[in-house]
Amino acid sequence: MQDAMRKIGFFLLTLAAVPALAEWVEVAPADQDPGTFYIDPATIDSFGASMRWAWQMQDSKKPAEDGFVS
C-alpha cells in the first residue's frame, strides 16, 4: 500500500512541475502597470485561418488586490 501511495505522490508532484517547464518569451514589456506580458510558444494553437491562442503570463509591477503579482 505504501508503494502505491508513493507512486501516486510522485505522479502528482510530476504534474505540478509541468507548468514550470514552460519557455516564457517576453512579448510586451511595460514601464508602467499592467506590467510585462509573456507567452509560452509551445502552447500556440490555431482556430480556423486567422485565430491563434497561447498560454500567457503577466508580471505586474505592484501586487493586485488579491496579493498576486503574476
Q: Which three cell numbers stand for residue 66?
A: 488579491
What DSSP element (H or E) covers 9?
Answer: helix 2-17
Check residue 62 and give its pLDDT. 79
The whole domain housing 35 covers: 20-65
The whole-number average pLDDT for the span 43-60 is: 86
Distance CA 44, CA 53 (A): 6
User: Between these two residues, 40 and 61, which has the higher pLDDT value?
Assistant: 40
Instruction: List, for residues 9-47, the tens digit of each pLDDT value.
Output: 766 666 555 555 568 888 877 666 677 888 888 888 998
Kindly state whether residue 35 falls inside one of the protein's structural domains.
Answer: yes
What DSSP element (H or E) covers 60?
Answer: none
Query: How many distinct structural domains can be found in the chain?
Result: 1
Distance CA 5, CA 21 (A): 25
Kindly state whether residue 13 falls inside one of the protein's structural domains.
Answer: no
Kindly state whether residue 4 falls inside one of the protein's structural domains.
Answer: no
Kindly state whether residue 51 falls inside one of the protein's structural domains.
Answer: yes
What is the value of pTM for the model shown?
0.53
Check residue 19 and give its pLDDT. 54
Check residue 32 and give its pLDDT. 62
Distance CA 62, CA 54 (A): 24
Kindly state whether residue 25 falls inside one of the protein's structural domains.
Answer: yes
